[in-house]
Amino acid sequence: MSGHAKIGGCLRGLALAAGLLAATPVAAIDGGAPAGRDALSQATVGIGTITQPEDALKLTRCSGILIAPDLILTAAHCVNGDPLGALIVFFRGTEPVRPVYAARVAARYSPDPGEMLPNAAPNLSLADLSLDLAVLRLTEPVRDRKPVPLASDPSRVPGRLRVAGAGLSGRGVGRLRTAALTPVAATSTGLTIARADGARICFGDSGGPVVAQDRRGTYVWGVASAVITRTAPCGGYVIVAPAAQVFSGAAAR
């Protein structure tokens, strides 16, 4: 899918590459920093799914985050096509580690995009934006990783965000990287458009967790649902699907 998003003057005329999902190897976060051992890096996962759309198998790879001992949050388009299965890997620093977990789709969500907050992006058409979420259930709970809680108040947009993504490599799951994000526009339901600072977000980072911090610690603001770019596969702005609507009931599909 594609369209045009206008966010003030800085994004005018940029193409909206709204899928982030790719069947061929693409880059992970370009720039940013290697993942460390913090809460975001410890809970971020790489997701591999296998679908059979016609006669050929199709392998897709995305990112996600542990939100309960047996639940992973990601972008719904990462598990389109009724996947035959999903494999989940965690990371130690930048590198994927064993064991590999199996998972199935528990729920898909089409979040309410809401209304753009006053003066945030008057020329933006919300109909142009790709916005989806999914929850995967692991076949067994993870006991050595700490889940990250979801945001509860979508109206309080954080001033600073961080994103993590594993991307892809030609041989498998890519190396985990993180990047700082600055919100530039948001809606009443938490849909956020953010600028990547010193980095670009790439198609392979789809479903990557976007987190913020408060006095209680790290929480999931949303996941990377699309990237805004002139030239695929990477762009400097990311559309964040709001995590606060997960489990709300009204958005579930």
Q: How far apart are alpha carbons 161 and 154 in whole angstroms?
A: 14
Contacts of 198 (CB under 8 A, 6+ apart): 31, 32, 179, 180
What residues form DSSP beta bridges with 201?
235
User: pTM for this structure?
Assistant: 0.84
Higher pLDDT, 229 or 72: 72
Q: Where are the domains of the chain?
A: 2-245
Would you say residue 243 has pLDDT above 60? Answer: yes
Of the chain, the end-to-end C-alpha distance in Å amounts to 21
Q: What is the pLDDT of residues 21-56, one digit of tens each?
A: 333 334 568 889 999 999 999 999 999 887 765 555
What integer pLDDT is reported at residue 15 of this predicted model? 37
Q: What value does the mean pLDDT take over residues 47-76?
A: 80
42: left (phi over 0), alpha (psi -120 to 50) or beta: alpha
Q: Domain 2-245 belongs to what architecture?
A: Beta Barrel (2.40)
Asked whether 74 and 47 are in contact (CB, 8 A), the reply is: yes
pLDDT of residue 26: 42
Question: Is the model more confident about 132 or about 203?
Answer: 132
Strands 2-5 and 177-186: unpaired
